[in-house]
Amino acid sequence: MSALFILTDQAKLMLHFVVFSFNRADFLRHCIDTIERCASGFPILIVDDNSTDAGTVKALDELRLRHRVVQPEKDNNGLRSKHGGLYGNMQLALDYLNDDDLMCTLQDDMQLVRIFTADEAEALQSWFTADSTRGFVHHAFLKGSERLRSQVSFNETDGLYYNKRVKSSAGAWYSDIFIASVATLRKAGWQFQAREALNEQLARGLFSPMAHWRDPFVAWLPAATSWRGKRRTFALRLGEKLNDCGFYPLQEMGSAAERAFKMRAHDVMPYAEDFLSIRNERTVRKAPDKPWIYHPLQGRRLLKWLNSLELKLFARKP
């Protein structure tokens, strides 16, 4: 590990950024670069799902020089889902971390969009310490595509947002993007399940509702290409073409923009499209329309059906 990333005394709170990677070298490099720049001193653990792309393998070799990179054994005890090996890899990361750590997850198509400080890490640690039933907090900007059906509202008691759609399949008690206390999860006997909805059910029985951090600091990149499920079906590739999917990094907040963001009224929800923009948007061939999409099949029922059919046909092949 290079001297640049040796932990300072402040960073010894041991909030770990855990990045899940598969076959997207440009996205992975960009994600790690934003963490190094916006959260200097905090350790980074990269969990790669056995990438096969030569460019991603090369990127991992470079990143190993300054960060810990781990990969699961093949099939990871059979824990597979439409997310590929995501949940097996989450369990791998949880098992790797220490009880004193906070586990802060990102996927490779995400980035930090503002400075994250030791003071915020301390605030997160204090929030978990104050109530042992607090399992997860969501730290990403909300998606504008979900604005009309969102029921996230501000709670005056702890100064955070909560999702009131308690019957949702996910998002009220659990999200794949989260910060959690390792000690709390272990004490509760937490084991990641094979689908997000199953993790939601498990969290519902173990913890209080998931909070949304008032001032999120990570965001998904709009219109990213996808490797979900490790199979690039015709429907997926067609959806990417129709939606102009590609690599669209977001502009990080400057100090003035960050200050204004943090000083906003509580009822001004942190939707990504309201506060963030695509880097060098004027020079992008065709920037994604707002509200941004986050998956090539988003809003395309026919392609979703075709994608599911293709995956079923592939699964039946010997």
pLDDT band for position 287 (cuts 50, 70, 90): confident
Question: For 98-140, how does the pLDDT look when each residue is reduced to its tens digit (9 = 90+)?
Answer: 999 999 999 999 999 999 999 999 999 999 999 999 999 999 9
CA distance 264 to 270: 9
CA distance 283 to 308: 36
CATH class given for the domain over 3-212? alpha beta
Listed in order, the ranges of the chain carrying CATH 3.90.550.10 are: 3-212
Nearest to 239 by CA among 163, 293, 309: 293
Q: What's the whole-number average pLDDT of the chain?
A: 88
Is residue 143 a contact partner of residue 291, using CB atoms and an 8 Å limit? Answer: yes
CA distance 304 to 310: 10
Q: What is the pTM of this model?
A: 0.89
